[in-house]
Each structure stands twice: as C-alpha cells, then as structure tokens.
Copies of this chain bind each other. A is one copy, B any other.
Amino acid sequence: MTSHRIGILGTGLIGNFYAQTLRRGRSRDEVAVVYSRTAERAREFAERFQIATWTTDLEEATSHPAIDTVVVALPNDLHLPAVKLAATAGKAVLVTKPLARTATEAREILRIVEEAGIFAGYLEDLCYTPKTLRALEYVEQGTLGDVLWVRSRETHPGPHSAWFWDPRRAGAGAIVDLGCHCIEIIRSFVGKHVRPIEALCWADTLVHPIDAEDNAVGLIRFENGALGQFEVSWTFRGGMDLRDEVAGTEGTIWLNHFLRTGFEMFTSEANSSYVAEKAEVERGWLFPVGDEIGELGYVDMFDDMFAALDAGRQPRETVYDGYIVNAIIDACLASARNHRWETINLEWRGGQSHRIERRHQNVGDLILVKQERLPDGRQKLILKDPRTGDFLDRIV
C-alpha cells in the first residue's frame, strides 16, 4: 500500500470534511498543500489541519512537487479549470460533486482526464455511506429481486455559502446541489449498466428570494422499466433529511442516513455544541449522528479512491459517472423549463438492458395473478382468463 500526498483546493465546508477525513484514524496519507482564494482562509485552514504549505495560487497548488493527488473542493464553476491544471501537472485528480455545472462541461473534464491518462475519481460521498454500500451488496446478490423503483431524497433549509445560491456559478439551484447525490444513488441501486432514458422534473422557487429553484421533484425512466424519483429542497424544516427507498420484486430497503439513525436526544439546555450538518435547533429533541464523517461516506470514499489508485483500477465512482449525472440534471432542468418529459442526451458507454420481466404462472388455462392465505388457513387464488380478460377468485 502506497502513501499519498494530497493537495486540497478549497477551504469551505466540503474542504473541511475532506481534510478531517484524510487526517483521521491511522491513515498513511497526508494533506501537504491547501489552496484558497484568500490568504487568511488558506493560512487558517493549514493551521487547523497542520498542513505544511498553503497558497492562493491555483497553479502552484495543482503542480506542487510535494503532492501526487489533487482534491478539487471548489465551487462548481472552478472544477473545469482546476482539473485542467491538475491534468497538465500529471497529478491524480479527485473532483467533488457535482462534477460540473453542465453536461458539456462535465464531458470536457472527462476528455481532459482521459487524454492526460491520469487517475481520476468522482467524490460522490453519499454513494459510499456504510449503509449504502451494504444495501448495494444486498441488491447485487439479488436479495430484492429486480429493482423497480428508487426514491432518493435530500432536503435541508438551504446551503451555507453564497456561491450555491448563484446559478451562474452553481449551474442551477437545489437540483444541482442536492439532486446530483440523489441521481447517482438512484443509478447505483437500479444498476449503473442500465441506461437512463428520459426525465421529468417539476421545479419551483417557493420560499427564498432567489432565481434558482428551491424545490424540485424529478422522475427518471430507465431502459429496463425501472423508475427513479428524487426530491430535493432548500426549504425543508427540521434538519437535513437524507433518505433512500428501494422497491424490488422480492424486497424493500429503507435507509435513513441522518435524522433517524438510532440516536435520539432531548435537552432543555441551549446546546452550545455542533449537533449535525444543517441541524436547525439546539433544544428539545435532537437527532445527532454518531460519526458524521463516517456516516456520510467520506471515509469509505477516500479509502476506495486511494485503493483504486494503488491498484490501477477504476474507483466505484468515476468521472464518467459524474458526467452521466450532469447529463441527467440537464434533462431535468430542460424538463422543468419546457414542462414535458425530456430525453436524456449522453454518450452511453454501457450496453443495453432488458425490460424487467413480468411473472407468469398458470393454473390450468388460467393465469395466476395472486395467491394469499386466508385467516382460516385456506389459499385464495386470484385468476385471470386470458381469453376473456375476466378475473375470478378461487378458494382452494
């Protein structure tokens, strides 16, 4: 196992989460350089995390000889220029989510890293939460049968930095900020080999004095018949609501990542300490998480990234995945604008997938639709006559 020396670009909330993750535990990796646009923030960050070098020069940061890997934790409009510089310097590059503001930009990032031949990863932490990883194992081994429907929901009262609210910098509003997570979670459960075909999205600006959408619901139709559904909001009250639901032909999974994880606390004291990301209150019933960094997936994400880099394999979340997410977001934004289903335009590298198959079982000439046990122990069959289309009950 190789050790890595990392440069972090950006000192906002996400940069902090990344630095905390990379520094913790018994890790052999180390953050060696940090970049921020302002010297004060760069210096303060370097001190907090004991980072040897800080700079306000992006090119210096990306090409610094002390590092082999660049972590891009910048606002969305700066991902493309940062990746360009890192690729030029031949560094491995890990980019925060969303990959870019648009599919076009994302495609360009994909082209750059592929042409440069550098290792690249997509830092989609919520696809790496311990619960998600475990749930995906179950799904992959067939515990749920065929996945039919996935709901992914991320809502909170709104982001914490100015640039998120400016669609020129962020690309759009809650759909880009939160939908990027939901879409990749949906893809992970449906199966990344299944092509997303079209999207329908409702979006509105209901509460905040902004132009970008603060609420949206999207539907994504996949080639095999499965449906993905995301709900995002910057106006949710009560903290950060992170839930996923998966329905399959043989089973169901419900994940709650944040507000109901088996940690419940009541306090009458104004709570001087940090409760959790986007927590709204400091008294009454609170729902902290045990280990925020761990439960949000940051630990497993970086473990996978560096293990992949060492092994010369692709990480679980690739820059190509990030590009697909941006393509779906673009279709959602177009759908919200045009008020209709929109085809998802993308360069698809996966193959084709078959339609989820309906089940058939015959009872004589009739089709068995459903079978259930009655309270008295007998079986009730619901049968369909394929010639007439009539349905009948039969107790056996």
Q: Which residues of A contact B (CB under 8 A)?
A: 1, 24-29, 129-135, 137-138, 141-145, 148-149, 151, 155, 157-163, 165-166, 168, 200, 202, 204-211, 215, 217, 219, 221, 225, 227, 229, 231, 233, 235-239, 247-257, 260-269, 271-274, 280-281, 283-291, 294-295, 299-300, 302-303, 306, 339-341, 356, 358-360, 367-370, 372, 375, 380, 382-384, 389-393
Docked CA distance A151–B241 (Å): 14
> Could you show 24 A-B contacts with beta carbons less than 8 Å apart?
A26-B29, A130-B290, A130-B294, A131-B263, A131-B291, A132-B290, A133-B290, A134-B290, A138-B265, A138-B271, A138-B273, A143-B269, A149-B233, A157-B370, A202-B227, A206-B225, A208-B369, A209-B367, A217-B227, A251-B268, A256-B263, A257-B262, A281-B284, A284-B286
Copies in the complex: 4
Instruction: Decide yes or no: A210 and B384 within 8 Å by CB, A27-B26, A148-B215, A370-B158 being known contacts.
Output: yes
Known: A161-B393, A261-B262, A391-B166. A359 touches B145 (CB 8 A): no
- A380-B284 contact, Cβ under 8 Å, with A206-B225, A262-B256, A360-B209: no
Contact B269 A142 (CB under 8 A): yes
A261 to B163 Cα, complex, angstroms: 34
CB distance from A28 to the nearest CB of B (A): 5
CB-CB under 8 A from A291, the residues of chain B are 130-131, 133-134, 294, 300
Which B residues are in CB contact (< 8 Å) with A302? 26
Residues of B within 8 A of A289 (CB): 130, 134
Q: Which residues of B contact A254 (CB under 8 A)?
A: 263-265
- Residues of B near A210 (CB, < 8 A) are 369, 384
